[in-house]
Amino acid sequence: MVSDGNGFWRLLASFLLWNGAGAIGSSLVYLYFKNFGLGLEELALSFIFMTVAPLLIISAFNKNKSMDMKTLIISGVSLLAAGYALLAIFNPSRELLFLISFLIGAGFFFFFIPFNIMYFRFGKGREAVVGSLYFSVYPLLSLFLPLIAGLMAQFYGYGIVFSLAALMYTILVLFVLYSLSKRSLSYDLTPCLTGLEGFKTLIFLDGIYNGGIIAAVSVISLLYFKQPAELGVFLSITMLFSVLASYVVSRLSDRSRKRRKYIRIIGSGLGMVTAAAAFVTNAFGWTIAIVAGNFFLRLFYPFTTAILLDRKADVESVMVGREWLLNCGKLTGAAIVLFFAVFSEIRFSLLILGLVILAYPIVL
């Protein structure tokens, strides 16, 4: 069990630094490799490596007697620091992209399993508000950090951006080392999945959409934005309006507990916007589509987390089982995008992803 000794605000501070480093570093990775000459299909394939990594690690640590959560978080952050350091040091190549993708996927697992367990234990009775804050940190930082990263890369090169991200992750390692307490974690995957009875399909659909939309938007955006500054402006603009709306609606949900109603409305909107984005053919239309999509997305995810935590007391088992199913879904979503990138038109993957998220309220 995780006590309050870690402190909510220290957790939030570490989350801010984690997301800040990510908003700076990840915003330009795929443009960096595309400008080197990699094709859309190779960029899409890298997301397969990213989603396979957590599944392998969850399997490897299954039934391990005891793991220190603090050590896991430090390991995850260290992998990200190492990944961006490699980007800053070595010339881009297909092999480097796949290696970095695997390191990022592994790092995300090591960070998020213990962090989520600690964080959501503070949210009893106010799950959607805590979830909204959780899901709003990255968009809030992304209002300006991708723009800064794009301008830095435009004038000084990609190396300084990746070096800055590596430095921020290194600072986070030190912060976690001296601010968070040691807590043990162990899990058996089978009971973790059994405890999610009634939610498995929902989590899997969530994963398909999440993994697919990240891959699709990351790759398709490169068809419209060729320079770092352009991409930075785009990424910053697309986060407008989403943070405030998420916070307001989630507060209403915590008071009324009508989460299913909100999920049906918002999920339907998200699905229709995603499907419509498949037919966009210019940069302006793509920007509008992603702004609208992010608006619905930031409303949607706090509720999907809250509705799960409403009914499950064991946060540790929930988060481990959820992570496994989410990454199975993410692997499927990334595979859908890869299929369309190789055999058809990558934009049409958005039609499938739109249908997936439209199915979520129906299954619910």
Question: Which pLDDT belongs to residue 26?
Answer: 93
Q: Are 222 and 31 within 8 A, CB to CB?
A: yes
CA 150, 76, 104, 96 dihedral sign is positive
Mean pLDDT by 10 residues, the chain (364 residues): 57 92 94 94 96 91 81 95 96 95 94 86 63 79 93 95 97 91 81 83 93 96 94 90 66 62 86 95 94 87 73 72 92 97 94 95 84
Q: Which of 307, 127, 44, 324 is nearest to 207 (CA)?
A: 324
Token digits of residue 282: 């210019």
- Tens of pLDDT, residues 299-355: 887 777 777 776 655 777 788 888 899 999 999 999 999 999 999 899 999 999 999
pTM over 0.75? The answer is: yes
What does pLDDT average to over the chain?
A: 87
Read off φ and ψ for residue 276, nearest 5 degrees: -65, -30
CATH code of the domain occupying 7-363: 1.20.1250.20
Please report, as a single letter, which amino acid is at residue 153. Answer: A
Q: Which of 87, 8, 2, 103 is nearest to 49 (CA)?
A: 103
Q: Helices 127-141 and 94-120, interaxial angle, to 10°?
A: 150
CA 62, 64, 65, 67 dihedral sign is negative
Q: Are 114 and 70 within 8 A, CB to CB?
A: yes
Strand pairing partners for 67?
Answer: 185
Give the Å distances, CA to CA, from 128 to 132, 159, 193, 242, 298: 6, 39, 23, 15, 12
- Burial of 189 per CB tally in 10 Å (0-12, 13-18, 19+): middle
Question: Which pLDDT belongs to residue 3?
Answer: 41
Q: Are 353 and 216 within 8 A, CB to CB?
A: yes
Q: CA 8 to CA 1: how far, in whole Å?
A: 15
Question: Which pLDDT belongs to residue 215?
Answer: 96
Token digits of residue 4: 């309050």
Strand pairing partners for 185?
Answer: 67
Q: CA 192 to CA 190: how far, in whole Å?
A: 5
Helix (H, G, I), strand (E, B) or coil at 320: helix
Question: Which pLDDT belongs to residue 246?
Answer: 62
Q: Are 318 and 202 within 8 A, CB to CB?
A: no
Q: Which of 215, 172, 181, 210 is nearest to 323 (CA)?
A: 210
Please report, as a single letter, which amino acid is at residue 105. Answer: G
DSSP-derived secondary structure letter, 313: S
Q: CA 87 to CA 159: how far, in whole Å?
A: 7
- Tens of pLDDT, residues 252-291: 655 556 677 778 888 899 999 999 999 999 999 999 999 9
| Half-sphere exposure in the Cβ direction for 3 (13 Å, CA) | 5
Question: Which pLDDT belongs to residue 280?
Answer: 94
Q: Are 339 and 185 within 8 A, CB to CB?
A: no
Which residues, 6 or more positions from 49, have their beta carbon under 8 angstroms from its beta carbon? Answer: 98, 101, 102, 105
Neighbours of 175 (CB within 10 A): 16
